[in-house]
Amino acid sequence: MELLYRSTRGEKKAYTASEAVLQGLAKDGGLFVPDQIPSLQRPISEFAGLSYQETAYEVMKLFLTDYTEEELKYCISHAYDDKFDTKVIAPLVKKGNAYYLELFHGATIAFKDMALSILPYLMVTAAKKNNCSNEIVILTATSGDTGKAALAGFANVPGTKIIVFYPKGGVSPIQEKQMVTQKGDNTWVVGIHGNFDDAQTGVKALFNDKKLAEQMNQAGFQFSSANSINIGRLVPQVVYYVYSYAQLLASGEIQNGESINVTVPTGNFGNILAAYYAKQMGVPIHKLICASNDNKVLYDFFTTGCYDKNRDFILTTSPSMDILISSNLERLIYKIAGADANKDAALMNDLAQTGKYVITDEMKAQLADFYGNYATEEETANQIKKMYETYHYIMDTHTAVASCVYDKYVKDSGDNTKTVIASTASPYKFTRSVMNAIDPSYDEKGDFELVDELNKLSNVAIPKAIQEIRTAPVLHNRVCDKDQMKETVCDILGLNK
Ligand SMILES: *Cc1c(COP(=O)(O)O)cnc(C)c1O
């Protein structure tokens, strides 16, 4: 049966999966959601023997129903190959009573690789299926990790161009170096004077600019999005929650049917939403623990039912979670509003007009699956130090936020259900913050000296992604004001401004 996708804001048209992948965002500004979340077609115990690639096929075919078996298997085998430094793709590492699901073994050593390795294939396939002859222009706002992962995924993919905007000064030095050294004639990287929300708001405005769309079409271009709002990002992320449950079963860590909890360091709400979808597909997940840093909009939302972005934007050591507008939350809002697009649109309108919205008690009652909490900067650093000293396991700052919030959850609830913690970046990506947490005297050293120190301390090999940028030349140096993003895009594409 074909699964169709609709906008959260009420546009009447239903879209096939490939159309939704190609378009990214709905025309009315809403997000595409499937008409229903499909159930796993085989008992979860049968997944225990499957490889990552096989699991990906079993899960993704249920969401992307208009892709043929051949197309989907082609996309999967080209995405999850030796770009990853381990055959299992997403290993589970047990430390204490938690299992760290390491999602950082791909090309850019952050979890964004899990979806962005496959998105270009899903998109190029979608273009062919829909007889689209325009060149696809990927427009992305990044708080650091998406940008590089998208650049790596789309670089030199025929029929595509990619333009990435990042907040100048708002990403780690290693993140910035990774982006500005990106090769590929079809790649552009632009720093903006503003924060991540400015970049994201600017990109959304470009997507909604009808005049620009017309001008692009005439020149043979069309936009699509590699941001986590694209269902082609969301669906591949469901896979590793199914996979991690199956791995726990296969290794005898849990019994068939036993519930687990999942803890996710959250920014745009994409990763944790994928875990929520996995739960709805039938994976025995009890609590979804949503971890925030000092930008704790989501914690406040889960505790009060009021989403309020009117607050200072705080730059933290976990920059990929420095977000005040968690775009993917809209999909959850739509769901708890009873798939009522009018209600969702009204709340999103409140958000646009006043910077906040309040959900009804009835809606709030449906958030029982979630637990929200946050870790301060000091708590995050202490967690890194504690995990290093106790287990000799060095984690990055984002994972440390999750690890710390997980400890708070256990303390709050007394719930000792076995827990998977999404480990979203390699410590090598945030070396300075990680090493400073272990010993502040490291701060005197240079970025790459710190890489060597981390190597000595952790005994984990320096990833290829880091080795490469040590000597790679800077290829991108464009910077613009936050209100000049349109001019910049027109300039890059050779359109009249
Ligand atoms: C993007 C990112 C996150 C946040 O994930 P969302 O899906 O946006 O909630 C957390 N940690 C790291 C390292 C990331 O790159």
Ligand 1 atom closest to the CA of 323, numbered from 1: 8
**Known active-site residue 112:** yes
Residue 23 inside a domain? The answer is: no
The rounded Å distance from CA 174 to ligand 1 centre is: 16
Residue 163 inside a domain? The answer is: no
CB-ligand 1 contact for 266 (6 Å cutoff): yes
Considering the candidates 13, 83, 112, 204, report the single residue annotated as catalytic: 112
Q: What is the pLDDT of residues 40-57, one digit of tens each?
A: 999 999 999 999 999 999
pLDDT at site 208:
87
**What is the number of domains present in the chain?**
1
pLDDT at site 216:
95
Q: What is the pLDDT of residues 360-390, one digit of tens each?
A: 999 999 999 999 999 999 999 999 999 999 9
pTM above 0.85, yes or no: yes
CB-ligand 1 contact for 190 (6 Å cutoff): no
The rounded Å distance from CA 250 to ligand 1 centre is: 28
Residue 287 inside a domain? The answer is: yes
CB-ligand 1 contact for 425 (6 Å cutoff): yes
pLDDT at site 6:
97
Ligand 1 atom closest to the CA of 145, numbered from 1: 15
Ligand 1 atom closest to the CA of 424, numbered from 1: 13
Residue 256 inside a domain? The answer is: yes
CB-ligand 1 contact for 270 (6 Å cutoff): yes
The rounded Å distance from CA 254 to ligand 1 centre is: 27
What is the rounded distance in angstroms from the CA atom of residue 453 to the CA atom of residue 434?
Answer: 11
Q: DSSP 3-state assignment of 113?
A: helix
Q: What is the 3-state secondary structure (H, E, C) of 271-293?
A: HHHHHHHHHHHCCCEEEEEEEEC
CB-ligand 1 contact for 398 (6 Å cutoff): yes
pLDDT at site 50:
97
Cβ neighbour number for residue 305 with a 10 Å cutoff: 16
Angle at 390 between CA 386 and CA 395, to 5 degrees: 55
Hey, whose CA ends up nearest to atom 1 of ligand 1?
320
Ligand 1 atom closest to the CA of 266, numbered from 1: 9
What is the CA 463 to chain-centroid distance, rounded?
21
Sign of CA dihedral 372, 333, 482, 466: positive
The rounded Å distance from CA 269 to ligand 1 centre is: 8
CB-ligand 1 contact for 458 (6 Å cutoff): no
Range of the domain at 446: 92-108+232-459
pLDDT at site 171:
87
Residue 356 inside a domain? The answer is: yes
The rounded Å distance from CA 323 to ligand 1 centre is: 10
Average pLDDT of the chain to the nearest whole number: 95
Residues 6 or more apart in contact with residue 224 via CB below 8 angstroms? 21, 22, 23, 24, 123, 136, 137, 138, 139, 230
CB-ligand 1 contact for 115 (6 Å cutoff): no
The rounded Å distance from CA 170 to ligand 1 centre is: 15
CB-ligand 1 contact for 265 (6 Å cutoff): yes
Q: Which residues pair with 217 in a beta bridge?
A: none
Residues 6 or more apart in contact with residue 126 via CB below 8 angstroms? 18, 19, 21, 22, 132, 232
CB-ligand 1 contact for 204 (6 Å cutoff): no
Ligand 1 atom closest to the CA of 396, numbered from 1: 13
CB-ligand 1 contact for 438 (6 Å cutoff): no
Residue 195 inside a domain? The answer is: no
Q: What is the CATH number of the domain that holds 397?
A: 3.40.50.1100
pLDDT at site 435:
98
Residue 58 inside a domain? The answer is: no
> Residues of the chain whose pLDDT is less than 70?
497
Residue 173 inside a domain? The answer is: no
pLDDT at site 304:
97
pLDDT at site 365:
97
The rounded Å distance from CA 266 to ligand 1 centre is: 6
